[in-house]
Structure 1
């Protein structure tokens, strides 16, 4: 008998809820009377929310509509997919009615005298809930799936309904505060964009436009090859995954071979700006200033390095590049191949750079810094709330802490 089956204090999910699979997508028209209806598929069921930005429709026999029709309060879970997305789910709010669900999406309809759907959705998204799916899933290469019977056998904590309601209300209160801060961050970004546009426009009479290559050095990084992975002289380098907007993430650093001459060419100095050369179209040109030690890292050819000359402050150049990212300048010059856009070092180097006196550059940088500090503060608060909510969910659902 498995550990899950031994948990007699937790009833099986199928004893406190009705579970069903969805309707199969059939390429041929159904026989008899049918109607075209929207349906939810795996792509719509995200972790903690339902996305309705891309809803498909299918012809459905009239006799099957009620069988697969979703109700407000249904909990939807994915049957399979990437291992890290297995069993992801969310509560359906009934915003589209009628709406059905495809056969790769499970519908769980709680018997609300025993189990609240909001409580179940919290538990499904908790570490304990996700670990169940990982334990029982059938895995093939990088994909995993769970069956209807496995989902039905899932042990579910069922404290009294009043306690379930208090737990969900507490978590909802934290979630609402998260939404307030998220909205504040979005508003701050809009204000920042307007202020920055004003600052640059105020300099329009005093700045001169010169090609990027005339105000700094533009260089592509070293190309990654099988031989460079295996040769001696392995050295850490930065790539697209490390360069986020305004910051460099050092949590996942790769190495490849750089000889002494290459380290001189591709080595980074404090103040160097790295831009994503290959990215999705909306993110190509995303950039950050390197602030590490000189020579500690090199960089790959998926990045472009801009090294400011004496006429340009690195922080001012970064402000210009972020403005170009927001205004679509990088996207306009990028060349797209399949799903990846390439900025191109020559195209980037030919862009007209707004050169103003150093004193005016400092003025603009001060404005950028003021907004950056506010944004960092809000993001820090948001991160704290996220940890608080996760702690609440873990402690309350596990019973370690009482409501």
Structure 2
């Protein structure tokens, strides 16, 4: 055991051990044999979520081909081991059914005399754990990244006495339980908002198209090669549009050839729509808000500037309503399960309501109370997440 590699607690009972020392099993699963229906199911990457184990994402496995299968046990730590965006995500297996593990997921089965499974999961989820995995355990190129079992097994973690592990995990679990309660409240608020919006829009006539209400052409953006240097102009990524609307969560530096007067530079209040993504996310819309510097939108988005008499926020709400989303998703084309597209013609022909400005304002006013509540709850959720990360960091640094 090495000392002070991470930052030992002031309590001398804290030691450091490698993951191979504190687990009785550390290996990936095997390639599954899928069938249409079975009591045996397969744990894949979609089952391993930040929110916990998702049994509904598991597919059926042939029970006659179990000889080489790795069967999950209650309390196993599941760690996604391949793929950009999913690798490094972990959760505890807590289901009572029969599940086998596929080759994209690693199982860490704790030695219960040394360590709590929840402690291993807490370490892997922590900023330190995620940084360690990324810097030491990921191998391969973009989109082909894999988790090195050898490096993972050799990863050294702090190990307090079992009673202290349990107390720490209980504190973190308490904060996480508050987070889940707020998440559930936000989800319910959004569902109620959607129902209220659908009811109000359902009473209106949808006898216009997006082309009717657009002031000028509906244009695709521009996607130059990203640069590492700051040039004063930024580019949006597809991740800036979600079910919550626009958020500047994925900004990149545009090359110096893109200037502030480029035709794809956005104005505050522009309506954006994604024209390619997964079927769940294609056609997402959001109202662009100034990010402090000139910003362009990518080729996989479209910009819509409504005419006078049509509120941008009302149009965005209509397109994100149940009726609007169903139409867009039904018109999306593509053979890939991970990427479908909507054509320019489809976008122009999307049906939308166009009541009087007074009626538009009435709808938006009714939605405002829901939006304010969601913002308040979301801010509280952000505080809790920051608190949890801070507690974990302090624990690993030995300052608590």
Fold match by TM threshold 0.5: yes
Report the alpha carbon displacement of residue 192 of structure 1 after superposing the two structures with TM: 0.7
Match of 2:381 in 1: 382
Task: Provide TM-score, normalisation by structure 2.
Answer: 0.79
**1:192 match: secondary structure:** helix
CA-CA distance at 1:195 after TM superposition: 1.0
Question: Following TM superposition, by how much is the alpha carbon of 1:55 offset from its aligned partner in structure 2, in angstroms?
Answer: 3.1
Q: TM-score, normalised by structure 1?
A: 0.79
- Supply the RMSD in Å over aligned alpha carbons: 3.7
Separation (CA, whole Å) in 2 of partners of 1:250 and 1:70: 36
> Are residues 1:21 and 2:27 paired?
yes
User: Equivalences for 1:46-57 in 2 at 5 Å?
Assistant: 46=49, 49-52=52-55, 53-57=57-61
Describe the SS at the equivalent of 2:97. Answer: coil
Provide, for residues 60-96 of structure 1, a one-character-per-residue CA deviation record: whole Å limited to 9, x for no partner. 678778xx44321222335x42477555432221422
1:333-376 per-residue CA deviation (whole Å, 9 max, x = no partner) reads: 33335343323333222233312111111111111222111111
Cα distance between partner residues in 2 of 1:168 and 1:60: 39
**Structure 2 residue runs without a partner (length 5+):** 9-13
Residue 140 of structure 1 aligns with which residue? 140
Residue equivalent to 1:219 = 218
Distance in 1 between residues matched to 2:180 and 2:134, nearest whole Å? 30
With over 3 angstroms needed to count, the CA separation of the structure-2 counterparts of 1:371 and 1:88, relative to structure 1, is: closer
* Higher Rg: 1
Distance 2:101 2:282 in 1: 36
Distance 1:269 1:348 in 2: 21
Cα distance in 2 between the residues matched to 1:295 and 1:12: 47
Query: What secondary structure does 1:308 align onto?
Result: coil
Q: Does 1:40 align with 2:39?
A: no
Q: CA–CA distance in 2 between the matches of 1:311 and 1:26? A: 57
In 2, Cα distance between equivalents of 1:270 and 1:330: 25
> How far is the alpha carbon of 1:319 from its aligned partner?
1.6
Counterpart contact for 2:194–2:322, Cα < 8 Å? no
- Partners of 1:155 and 1:301 in 2: how far apart? 45
- The superposition leaves residues 92-115 of structure 1 with CA deviations (integer Å, 9 ceiling, x where unpaired) of 214223x34356644333333332
Q: Tell me whether 300-309 or 184-193 shows the greater mean CA deviation.
A: 300-309
State how 1:265-304 maps to structure 2 within 5 Å. Answer: 265-292=263-290, 296-304=294-302
Matched, 1:253 2:225: no
Q: Tell me the number of residue pairs that the alignment of Structure 1 and Structure 2 aligns.
A: 380
Given the superposition, is the C-alpha separation of residues 276 and 24 from structure 1 closer, same or farther in structure 2, using an over 3 Å criterion? closer
CA distance in structure 2 between the partners assigned to 1:315 and 1:23 by the alignment: 48
Using the TM superposition, give the Cα deviation of residue 169 of structure 1 relative to its aligned residue in structure 2, in angstroms. 0.8
1:114 equivalenced with 2:120 (yes/no): no
Paired with 2:105 and 2:294, the residues of 1 have a C-alpha distance of 48
**153 and 298 in structure 1: CA distance in 2 versus 1, 3 angstrom threshold:** closer
Please state whether the residue corresponding to 2:334 is helix, strand or coil: strand
Paired residues for 1:77-96 under 5 Å: 77-78=79-80, 80-82=81-83, 86-96=87-97
Determine if contact 1:284/1:342 at 8 Å carries over to the other structure. Answer: yes
Residue by residue, what CA displacement relative to the aligned partner does 1:282-321 show, whole Å, maximum 9, x if unpaired? 2222111223399934434322222121211222212212
Task: Measure how far apart 1:167 and its partner are.
Answer: 0.7
